[in-house]
Every structure is written in C-alpha cells, then in structure tokens.
Amino acid sequence: MKDYRYYVYIQASKRNGTLHIGVTNNLLNRTSQHKNKEIKSFTEKYNVNRLVYFEIYKDINKALYREKQLKAWQRQWKIKLIEKENSTWRDLYHDLLK
C-alpha cells in the first residue's frame, strides 16, 4: 500500500503580508508553481510565494478539513501559528530542496 502525504500550507507575500492557505500532495512542486507564477490566481496577483508554514497529513479528508479550519481563522490566529513554528517568516521552500 502506498504511503500518501498531503500538505496544508500557508504562503505569505512578506512578513505579516498577504496570506494564502492551500492543500496539495506535492508541496515542493506546488510551491515552485507559485514562485514561478505558473498558477494564474490570487497568489500571482499579490506575489504570495513565500512558504512560511505547513503540516503533513496521511488522510486527504483530514487535510481538507484542516485547510477549511485555518481559512476560517482570524488573521491574528494564523500569524501566531506561523510565528510559533517560524518566528522569522523564513521561506521554508529552500528546506524542501535539501
């Protein structure tokens, strides 16, 4: 049986900037698409391409539930979540390349 991974992620335009929350099964590829503006959407328009937070799930339904939950959160709660794990808002994309 294949071991699936699903990622709920938060991207930002800059520290305390515009945020985007999404879900994917290939975080490296999806982040690259946003960075290269291959996805014509909100993220391209507002230059949201810095991966600042992510969580890993084995169940797509749990990942989708978490994505919806985070999207419903107040902005300040999202910022606290990011800063708890990534206080400098470092772009985590480069960690994925290692």
SS (H, E, C) 53-80: EEEEECCHHHHHHHHHHHHHCCHHHHHH
Count up the domains in the chain and report the number: 1
Is 26 a domain residue? yes
| Burial zone of 11 (CB within 10 Å; 0-12 exposed, 13-18 middle, 19+ buried) | buried
At residue 81 the predicted structure's pLDDT band, cuts being 50, 70 and 90, is: very high
Q: How confident is the model at residue 3 (pLDDT cuts 50, 70, 90)?
A: confident
Residue 28 to residue 78: CA distance in whole angstroms = 22
CATH of the domain at 77: 3.40.1440.10
List pLDDT tens digits, range 22-77.
Answer: 999 999 999 999 999 888 888 889 999 999 999 999 999 999 999 999 999 999 99
Q: Determine, yes or no, domain membership for 1.
A: no
